[in-house]
Amino acid sequence: MAEHLEAAQGRMVRAADLLGLSEEVVAHLKHPIETLAASVNLRRDDGSAVTLKAWRCRYNSSLGPTKGGIRFHQSVHLDEVETLAFLMTMKCALMGLPFGGGKGGVEVDAHDLSTMEKERLARGYVRAMAKILGPDRDVPAPDVATGEREMAWMVSEYSEIAGSIQPHAFTGKPVALGGMAERTPATGRGAHIALEEMRDLAGLGEDGGLTIALQGFGNAGRWFAKAVTDAGHKIVAVADSSGTVSDADELDMEKLAKVKDEEGSVTAFDGGNAESSDDPEEVLSTQCDVLVLAALGGVIADADDAKALNCKAIVELANRPILPAADTALADAGIEVVPDILANGGGVTVSHAEWVQGRQGIDWDPEDIDDYLEDRIADAADNVREVMQECDTDMRTAAYAVALRRLCSAISAHGTRADFGKS
């Protein structure tokens, strides 16, 4: 049963009701256009072989080729892949990008693989999925436990199969293969731009320093931390999978990042008045203005989780860290949420620039990439703000409404269905 997908779609239905969209359009977006399930055979370094379950979902392509990451994780399953592909559909539409939504994954513990095994897996995944991939069909990117290196192997394998060089078939590639140095920081930077754009409507005032607690100190979390501290905000707690470190005055983030690089965990940091705990969940109850969720999905799963928070607002830097079952309790507590489809839209925005660069064959100027990121997030935020005021609704519902308006116009323009009601 598609339990996660159905729950996630409840938020879309709420936005569709707000806009008065017909049931037909909602029905059109309730199922993915195609999901390929495959077995990937992996030869281990010791000569043994394992068969791994893998999926690639193209959720909806009304706005353009489907776009979304590939994750290697032991918890990957079909429902999760399709739910994340649905979210990508909403995110690309909200950001005004000419992309539909997709996602992929392999059920595997990446920590258990050597570098050579990861390469064989990345190449095997592409061979298994090649028939639905392609620069004008489905364009993958990195996700959990995949990065530039995996994208390099994948684009190389895909080009072999296609019989021609296809740099725009994948994004998040190394610069040497047509990637952009700005892609890695883009998600964290974009979330900072989204926070500044929406802070007033999130009850955080128009200006002044904010206190921030951060769950997750990987790619997205670290770049977000740099952007907000450069802007003068204070980070008072950080958690990674090893535990939580906090200092009610302010954590020295430069030193903390160095400790994380050297020791592998944030809890090894002991500067200032920092206190460490081996409980990663402790960060969630930190007294702060903004709680930033930059680690996993499903962290705030229900009303009890929501009631344990001590923040004024939440930024969803991870994908679906708050499950729909917690929405009402958060609203009752007056905690506004900058939703994932807006907050982490910076990554796919710069991926779009990389895809365009691949098609053009001309490198973008780094300043143009930064401007593009800023403009896209600011435009999306403006549109969300307008709908919040026009329809007197929360930020997430408004974000879904903006996305749905674009999707409906495209679905109608394709002409397969005549009348979707007012959009």
Which residues contact ligand NAD (rule: CB under 6 A)? 143-144, 187, 215-221, 239-241, 280, 294-296, 317-319, 344, 347
Q: Is the Cβ of residue 191 or residue 388 nearer to ligand NAD in the bound state?
A: 191
CA distance 320 to 325: 12
Q: Is the Cβ of residue 81 or residue 317 nearer to ligand NAD in the bound state?
A: 317
Q: Is the Cβ of residue 95 or residue 239 nearer to ligand NAD in the bound state?
A: 239
The catalytic residue among 30, 53, 67, 103 is 103
CA distance 71 to 282: 27
CA distance 32 to 299: 25
Alpha helices in 31-166 (DSSP H): 78-94, 115-129, 148-162
- Least Å distance between CB 281 and ligand NAD? 7
Which residues are within 8 A (CB) of 332 and not within 5 positions of it... i.e. 6 or more apart?
none
Q: Is the Cβ of residue 395 or residue 411 nearer to ligand NAD in the bound state?
A: 395
- Least Å distance between CB 187 and ligand NAD? 4
End-to-end CA distance of the chain: 31
- Least Å distance between CB 276 and ligand NAD? 13
The residue assigned the tokens 């910076």 is 346
Of all residues in the shown chain, the one whose CB is closest to ligand NAD is: 218
Which residues are within 8 A (CB) of 365 and not within 5 positions of it... i.e. 6 or more apart?
none
Q: Is the Cβ of residue 178 or residue 347 nearer to ligand NAD in the bound state?
A: 347
- Least Å distance between CB 143 and ligand NAD? 5
Q: Is the Cβ of residue 186 or residue 404 nearer to ligand NAD in the bound state?
A: 186
Whether residue 255 lies in the annotated active site: no
- Least Å distance between CB 200 and ligand NAD? 24
Q: Which long-range contacts (CB under 8 A, 24 or more apart) does 114-120 make?
A: 114/45, 116/45, 117/42, 117/44, 117/45, 118/72, 118/149, 118/150, 118/153, 119/153, 120/42, 120/43
Sign of torsion, CA 278 279 283 286?
negative
Q: Is the Cβ of residue 244 or residue 393 nearer to ligand NAD in the bound state?
A: 244
Cα–Cα distance list, 15 to 181, 204, 218, 384 (Å) = 36, 24, 32, 12
The residue assigned the tokens 């007033």 is 200
One-letter amino acid at 362 equals: I
Q: Is the Cβ of residue 104 or residue 221 nearer to ligand NAD in the bound state?
A: 221
Cα–Cα distance list, 381 to 193, 210, 246, 367, 402 (Å) = 9, 19, 31, 21, 10
CA distance 225 to 206: 20
CA distance 265 to 257: 9
Strand (E) or helix (H) holding 50: strand 49-60
Q: Which two tokens stand for residue 300?
A: 């705030």
- Least Å distance between CB 13 and ligand NAD? 24
- Least Å distance between CB 5 and ligand NAD? 16
- Least Å distance between CB 186 and ligand NAD? 7
The residue assigned the tokens 């229900």 is 302
Question: How many Cα atoms within 13 Å fall on the side-chain side of residue 347?
Answer: 28
Catalytic residues: 103
